[in-house]
Amino acid sequence: MPPITRIACIGEVMIELIAGHGNAAELNVAGDTYNTAVYLKRHARGLDVDYVTALGRDTFSDRILAHMTAHDVGTKAVARHPTRMPGLYAIETDALGERSFSYWRETSAARTLFDSDGAEGVPRNAAEVLAHYDLVLLTGITLAILSCNARNRLMTAIDAYRAGGGQIAFDSNYRPHLWNDPALARRETEAMWQRTDIALPSVDDEIALFGDADEAAVLARLADCGIKAGALKCAEAGPVNLGSDSTRAKVSPATQVVDTTAAGDSFNAGYIAALALGATPTDAMIAGHTLALQVIAKRGGIVDTD
């Protein structure tokens, strides 16, 4: 495996609003690939980890940038849109502890990323962005928020990037409400699987999107797409190596589950950080699972971890 020292995570970081009692609320910063970026930097301090997105010029965007800086996530690939703002989502919890989400992200600045009329501060040519990194991480959410033209530009840039030795890590992270229709989501996700060097899917997402009968069917389809490395996340059953041996890691079960937000995001971070530090795929799966257990035992997407 080629050395990994410079990593870019591409996507959308949002303002998170957690509703409390009465009119009280807690304001945080979160987003799937951003959560991964924070945990990556935290658990492999020697890595250079940058976040690639577009923000606005408002105070909430300033809050996000300050959060990135505080967590040592690089901001040089963050664009600043002159009129748009970050997306927002709210979390409410019922009497039984079940969480529900509401989103306001349709006109967020991040949706202009790689568009011809996109934000200031980052080249609109995706190839120029990717060229600075050894590994680039993105997810199905990253694809879903981009325009069709921006996705096409990104796919073309990824082809050139991989031809030059760059590596792509991808997590399908399927969210139905972000796509116009499931068929489009399937086409774009399959196109990414064919361009992926380190695959980090969740079995539930893959079954929901592609209608596979079971875990074995997911594994077979991913192999047909050319996947040769990575891990299939299977919750309490434990992750399965997507390399040649298809072994399942022996992992500890969760003893405390408070909030499953960022379970997959933190697994991705632990897995990639371990690989970058020279771990075997099996040890990387254990590292990812161990980190995810710490995260789901506390409230929030970005929590204190060992």
Q: For residues 201 and 171, what is the distance between their CA atoms, to the nearest angstrom?
A: 5
Q: Provide mean pLDDT across the span 227-242.
A: 95
Contact indicator for 185, 151 with CB cutoff of 8 Å: no
Report the interhelical angle of 263-276 vs 281-296 (nearest 10°): 140
Active site residues: 265
For the stretch 93-150, pLDDT in tens is 666 546 677 889 999 999 999 987 666 766 678 999 999 999 999 999 999 999 999 9
Q: Considering the entire predicted model, what is its pTM? A: 0.94
Say which range, 17-21, 117-121, 228-232, 302-306, has the weakest mean pLDDT: 117-121
- Please report where in the chains the tokens 């009329």 appear, as a residue: 117
Instruction: Return the ∠ at Cα 297 (arms to 290 and 279), rounded to 5°.
Output: 10
- Domain chopping of the chain, boundaries: 6-13+31-86+114-296
The answer to whether 225 and 190 have CB atoms below 8 angstroms apart is: yes
6-13+31-86+114-296 is a CATH 3.50.30.60 domain:
no
